[in-house]
Structure 1
Amino acid sequence: MSSGPEPGPVERHRRLAVDSESVERGLAGLVLTIVELLRQLMERQALRRIDQGDLSDEQIEHLGLTLMALEDRMDELREHFGLSPEDLNIDLGPLGPLLPRE
């Protein structure tokens, strides 16, 4: 029982043709969304530890510089891929946006 003729090479190629630039941008957006979520979680955890007095002044300074460098790198990567901060905030429908506003 055959469901019809197999598509030829040209038809198969048309179905698989995608815009590589939009695929790259979409994948970069997804990866950067995850990195941004983790960055925000790390920042909140750092603030909790600072408030609890768990860190020395040297550790606080190092942590602050590291988080600022990460934020700068995120800005560079977003700019490279033509993404805005809003592009990284996935709408989860009834749950609201993935990334809380800072």
Structure 2
Amino acid sequence: MAKKAVIITNIDKILFEKEMSQGKLAELTGLRPNTISEIVRDSRTVINKVHLARIADALDVDNIGQLLEIAYVEEEGGLVHNREGYIVLKPNAGTIERRAKRREDQQ
């Protein structure tokens, strides 16, 4: 089964850890709330570097690897496996939705 690399964001995890809402992040960055939502949901195909810098600054992140990661999509079934062994379910072509399930649970 062929695999394809995709970039997914970890911003939702960071927001949860910092107990911060997407609305507050939008306020701190000066970005539109819809822009933040699209970035967090991985529904954007392009992310502006200036936006990433503003988000990193607002979240006090100094390593781009904390915001983004590469995952691999199995072409059939839409499953994404990231480097930590988690599976990310891809419900449709426009959205990648995170699920906290270990790969072992799926086997």
- Give the TM-score band, short-chain normalised: 0.3 to 0.5
TM-score w.r.t. length of structure 1: 0.32
Structure having the larger proportion of residues in strand = 2
TM-score w.r.t. length of structure 2: 0.31
Structure having the larger proportion of residues in helix = 1
Larger radius of gyration: 1
